[in-house]
Each structure stands twice: as structure tokens, then as C-alpha cells.
Amino acid sequence: MNHSHPELAEQFVKDAERTTWHDETLWFVRQKRDRSIYAIPEFQELRELASQIKNHTLSRLHTYLTQFEEAARANGVQVHWAANAEEHNAIVLNILRKHGAERIVKSKSMLTEECHLNPYLLQHGIQVVDTDLGERIIQFRNEPPSHVVLPAIHLKKEDVGETFHLHLGTLKGEKDPQTLTEAARLHLRTKFVSGQVAISGVNFAVAETGSVVVCTNEGNADLGVTLAKVHIACMGIEKLIPRLTDLGVFTRLLARSATGQPVTTYTSHYTKPGPGKEMHIVIVDNGRTKQLGRPDFRASLKCIRCGACMNTCPVYRRSGGHSYDFTIPGPIGAILSPNIDMHKHKSLPFASTLCGSCTDVCPVKIDIHTQLYKWRQVIGENNELPASKKWSMKLLSRVLSSPGVYGWGGKVARESLRLLPHGFTHAKALNPWAKAREMPAPPKQSFREWYEQQNSNGKA
Amino acid sequence: MSTSRESILAAVRANQPEEVPLPTVPIYSGEASLERFTEVLRSIGGEVVQVAGPEHLESALLQLFPATYQCASTLVKATVAVDTQTPTDILEAVDLAVLQGEIGVAENGAIWLPEQNMLNRALPFITQHLVLVLDQRNLVATMHEAYAQLPSAGGYGVFVAGPSKTADIEQSLVIGAHGARSLVVLVY
Ligand code: SF4
């Protein structure tokens, strides 16, 4: 049940062609992001502003939460608070029961994923339809999303064709994205019009006005929410921003960082329930206040879930989102997950090269790679190091603290690499690093030996 | 009434860091031309058509959409009457909605559409085709300028930038996911 990232990644990389394709697809998205941000001269200033706005909001989160609640209540919205996933799910179910709802439509929300809302509602006899195309595809397949913005990015069009053939009766072998999307459109429209309650996530919650802002390209959230009698918006406490005008900063950053679009197709501002309708907001903690109390990791709460760090991460791109076994995969997920369960997710902060690319692209300037590095220390101190890291790290720290041993070790290594048979140096059990790589040819001399030689030559 | 409310707020208060200031956000400007707006909107799948004035909307629409279309609008002659109470099955049959847009953003092709211009909140999404009418004097350069002009978010309001689209199947762009299959902006 509890699989480490290397174990799960191994499954994914078995299909070399798919790994390469996955890598290239995400790199393509990363390149679109680059082109899109160059179109804005003040992009770097906006990142700094976004970061400062979020820092400020976190430092006064108590005030903003109360201000938001008050404003929302004044707008006729019912506000609920959930300490954890169970409470969140119970609140949602309670609202559904009150309305006798049996069918609901849901638009993409990583929070409801995090709370495992779907299986919970299903258990209680409620039919949940995910309406974002990518989400619907993986819902049919009974899989979790593998990316925060592109939930079905791990699937090829043939996979989607097969899934739709099974569930929507499209022709066998049909793989044209246009045709498949049209089939989903027709299918989902029947769900939208019969959905009694619509659940949506929240991209931004504006303290000043009590509004929740939802950004989508497909319009599924809007169609669901505006047709249903009841709208339930579920948000983590960290979604707050102080003012309506702050959206000027965040709407310019979000889509450009995510997919390279200038803005999402729909940026909807829900402030008051529609005429004759009901609106609920569920504010969820579920570990977030704990993270807020960890100075080294609280910056992760600034995340606006653009996915840019995933698209750029060389490890995520090649190992796939499912190998993280956590709702939010990739670099930011590797920071958020040990906060929830350090033991279960101890391998995730190591699923990174610490190259810093994630930090470079993050629109709210989260120091992602530094936090990953810090988690590694915490995990080490808590004796949770994955076995393969443990002895090698210990050995390394001894060797590095003793120059004599270091020099001798290097010599032995250079000699042995030359002399030992390939089958030994590349034995999987002994050297996992060499699984998919060749070892470099060992140099005859170390730098230190060369330097000493140069010096003595010079003197002579 | 809720103990979780109290416990969450208490935990937030105990764990939030020392206060850091809220920055002032400059109202970044830029090019607010119709050319820029048109170019960006086209690049995201929308279309811009210039009309000489509001009185020419009908004839422009007739050229774009055949008269058989079920049309809902406050600006031109409608064939379907829509208000906030219109039942879903009637909304579902709307082919074309022609609505007044308030602000156009040149940088990203987005148009602000407040609730009072929508007839029904679901209309801009459930219609097969959406036409937004925009006075070019209401073009601004950036989102900062747009938000600066909004008195509030209203009860409901949406920035619409292009037709509904998805790239969820192998990153291939498909126009017309759930919402309107096309977006035409009639600018005068
Ligand atoms: S950590 Fe930064 S880059 Fe990654 S999803 Fe969050 S906001 Fe985007």
C-alpha cells in the first residue's frame, strides 16, 4: 500500500516511449509559459507583488478570514468551517441532504480531492459527476488526477478513446480529440441540466468583498453553478487575498504560469447567491494551520496551484504525477505532503534534483527547492530517511569531514572503477544510480593530485 | 455555533507570523488599442468584428448568424425571452446570446460581463454562441486598469476571454468544451 516515489516511478518509466512523450508534453507547456511571460515587461515585479501580498495575507490571516466571513454573510452566503477532511465532507453531505439532492455536478477542486469527497458521497448514495473534461476522463477510469491543472496529462488520446468507447459509447478506435470532446460535451450537458447542487473549488477568496473567484477554460464550473439551485464552494484557508484589485496581479500570473494563456477563458466572481438560489462556502483547515506554524514551510501556503513547478521539474516530467501518491504531486506536493504525513511521504522531498527550476518559475516566489532541502534535514533528524539514503549519507558525512579519508577514498574509487567488472559497478542492488545510466570514465588523477603536481612542477 | 470556527481561528492566530506590510499595487498600463485587443482575442480563438455604431448591430449579426438562430438579447431583436427565472430547458435551446460587455482588456482579450447584462446567470455559458458588444472607448490595457474601474464585483460577474475550450486530451486545443462554442465581439 505504502509505496515510495522510486518504486512507483519505476513502474512509470518502464514504458520508455511514454516517459519521453510525457516529458516532452510538459516541457512544451513550460515553453508556452516562457513565451507568455516575456509578453509582460513587469512580470518579475508582479511575482514579487504576489509574493508580498500572500506574505502579508498569511501574517494577518486571522483578520482576513473574519473579514471575509462577515462580508460573505452580509451577501447572503452561508459560511461553514471545517477543521479537517471528515468535517468538510460531513458539511457538504448535510447540505445535500437538506435539499434531498441525489445528483451533483462538481468542477475541478484539488481540495475536494484532498478530502476524498467523491468516494464519501458515493458511499452515501450520492451521484457525483466531475465536469472538467480531464477530471471526467479520470473519473471514468477510477484514477486520481496526475497534475493540478492537467489532470489527465498522463493519458494518450488512444487511452481517452478507449475510455469513452466503454463509458460513452463512442466508436472503437476513435481518438480524434475534437470528436471525443464533442461526445463529452453532449454527455455532460445532460448532467449539468439535471444537477441539483453544484460544487466548485475556489481560486481566490476576496476578503474585502466576500467573493470567491473561480478560473476555468471550459466554463464547466460556471455552467454547473449557474444552473443548480445550490452552489457549494470549498476553499482552503490560504485562498484569501485582501482586495478586489489584488486580482489584477493574480489573474495576470495564474494562466500565464499554468498553460501560457494570457488569462483563463472564464474568471468568475461569485459574491451573492443568484435570485431564488443558495450559496455556501466551506472554509477548510485540514493541516494548513499546522503548516502556518512551521516557519520553514509556511511559504508553501502561498501556492496558487498553477502547476508551473510540475511542468518544469525534470523528475516530475519523467516520473509522472501518480508516482507521488499524493493529491498534489510534483515539487510543491513534495513540500505539502510531509506536513500531512511525514512517514508516508518521506521519499517525496527526495524526488527532486534541487536544480531550483521550480523556484525560478513559481509565480508567488515560493522557495520550493530550499524547502525541499529543509524537509530532507527534518526527515533525517526524525530518523525517517529512506534506507538507501541513510547509510550513504552517514558515510558521506564522515568522509567529507575528514580530508585524508576523502582523498584516499577518491583514489580507491578511481582505481576500482577502472578495474572492477561492469556487472559489479552497475549491480542494481549496490548502485541504484546506475540503473539507467553509464558511469563516467574515471579520470586518472584527481584535481588535488593534478594541482600538487602543477605546483611542484612550477617550483622545479 | 461551530467549534471548528473557533479552533481554526485560534490556531491561525497562534501560528501566523509577525505582520508584514501589504504592498501598494501600481496600476500597470500598456497598449489599449483595438489592434492589440483584436490580435490577442484572435490568438485565443475569439473574433472581433467592427461595426459603425450600435444601430448597425442587427445587420452585422444577420451576416454572421442565419436568422433561424434562437437568439436571446437585450440589444437586438430576440426570438427567445430570457430572464432570471427562465427554466433550463428553454435556456438549453438558445443558439445565440447577444449581450453588452462593459470593459475590454487589450492585454488578454478578456471582457467584463456583469450580472445585470446577462439576463440570466447561465446564459453566457449555456448558449451555443456568444456575442459581446463593446464600445471601443471602454478598452483598457491591463487587468489592473479593469479592476480599478469596477465599482465592486457585483452579485456575480465574469471576465470572458474567448470561446469555451479545453486541451485535456493530449494537449490538443479543442474549441467548444461545455460553454459557448464561439465568441464574437462586436466593437463600435
Ligand atoms: S508552488 Fe508555485 S509554481 Fe508550483 S503550483 Fe504552486 S504557485 Fe505554481
Is the same domain home to A420 and A378? Answer: no
Is the same domain home to A95 and A66? Answer: yes
Closest of A445, A446, A443, A420 to residue A431, by C-alpha: A420
Is the same domain home to A54 and A104? Answer: yes
Which of A382, A415, A432 is at the close of a domain?
Answer: A382
Which of A264, A286, A308 is at the close of a domain?
Answer: A286
Ligand 1 centroid–CA A306 distance in Å is 5
Closest residue to A271, CB basis, from B19, B89, B153: B153
Cell readout for A120 is 464519501
Q: How many CA atoms lie within 13 A of A395 on its CB side?
A: 7
Chain A: residue whose CA lies nearest to B165: A218
Is the same domain home to A356 and A439? Answer: no
Cell readout for A403 is 580530508
Q: What is the pLDDT tens value at each position of chain A, 460 positions in all? A: 568 898 899 888 888 888 999 999 999 999 999 999 999 999 999 999 999 999 999 999 999 999 999 999 999 999 999 999 999 999 999 999 999 999 999 998 999 999 999 999 999 999 999 999 999 999 999 999 999 999 999 999 999 999 999 999 999 999 999 999 999 999 998 888 888 899 999 999 999 999 999 999 999 999 999 999 999 999 999 999 999 999 999 999 999 999 999 999 999 999 999 999 999 999 999 999 999 999 999 999 999 999 999 999 999 999 999 999 899 999 999 999 998 889 999 999 999 999 999 999 999 999 999 999 999 999 988 888 876 676 676 777 777 778 787 778 778 777 777 777 777 666 666 666 666 667 777 788 888 888 888 888 766 5
Residue span of the structural domain in which B90 resides? 30-187
Is the same domain home to A435 and A378? Answer: no
**A79: DSSP letter:** E
Q: Is residue A434 part of a domain?
A: yes
Is residue A363 in contact with ligand 1, taking CB distance under 6 Å?
yes
Q: Is residue B136 part of a domain?
A: yes
B31 CB-near residues (< 8 Å, 6+ apart): B106, B107, B141
Q: Is residue B4 part of a domain?
A: no
Ligand 1 centroid–CA A403 distance in Å is 40
What is the pLDDT at residue A388?
A: 64
Closest residue to A209, CB basis, from B4, B143, B152: B152
Q: CA A111, A117, A119, A121: dihedral to nearest 10 degrees?
A: -160
How many structural domains is chain A composed of? Answer: 3
Is the same domain home to A396 and A376? Answer: no
What is the pLDDT at residue A433?
A: 63
Q: Is residue A422 part of a domain?
A: yes
What is the value of pTM for the model shown? 0.90
CB contact under 8 A, B109 and A82: no
> Best mutation site among A303, A313, A348, A365 for ligand 1, i.e. most ligand atoms within 8 A of its Cβ?
A303
What is the pLDDT at residue A435?
A: 65
The CATH number covering residue B67 comes to 3.40.50.10420
ipTM of the prediction: 0.97
Is residue A321 in contact with ligand 1, taking CB distance under 6 Å?
no
* Contact B116/A at CB under 8 A: no
* Degrees to nearest 5, angle at CA B145 with B143 and B146: 60
CB of A223 within 8 A of CB of B122? Answer: yes
What is the pLDDT at residue A430?
A: 62
Radius of gyration of chain B (CA): 20
Q: Is residue B147 part of a domain?
A: yes
Ligand 1 centroid–CA A191 distance in Å is 32
How many structural domains is chain B composed of? Answer: 1
Q: What is the pLDDT of residues A167-200, one digit of tens each?
A: 999 999 999 999 999 999 999 988 888 888 999 9
Q: Is residue A121 part of a domain?
A: yes
Closest residue to B147, CB basis, from A219, A248, A292: A248
Q: Which residues in chain A have Cβ-Cβ distances shorter than 8 Å to B128?
A: none
**What is the CA B158 to chain-centroid distance, rounded?**
5
- Beta-carbon count within 10 A of A241 CB: 25
Q: Is residue B5 part of a domain?
A: no
Q: Given the C-alpha cell 472581433, which residue does it identify? A: B48
What is the pLDDT at residue A429?
A: 62
Residue span of the structural domain in which A227 resides? 40-286
Is the same domain home to A300 and A256? Answer: no
What is the pLDDT at residue B66?
A: 83
> Which residues make beta-bridge pairs with B48?
B185
> Best mutation site among A362, A368, A369 for ligand 1, i.e. most ligand atoms within 8 A of its Cβ?
A362
What is the distance between the alpha carbons of residues B92 and A55, in angstroms, rounded to a whole number?
44
Q: Is residue B91 part of a domain?
A: yes
Q: Is residue B111 part of a domain?
A: yes
What is the pLDDT at residue A434?
A: 62
The CATH number covering residue A369 comes to 1.10.1060.10
* Contact B28/A at CB under 8 A: yes
Which long-range contacts link A340-344 to residues 24+ away (Cβ below 8 Å)? A340/A287, A342/A378, A342/A379, A342/A382, A342/A384, A343/A384, A344/A2
Residue A332 CA: nearest ligand 1 atom is 1
Positions in chain B short of pLDDT 50:
1
Is the same domain home to A54 and A193? Answer: yes
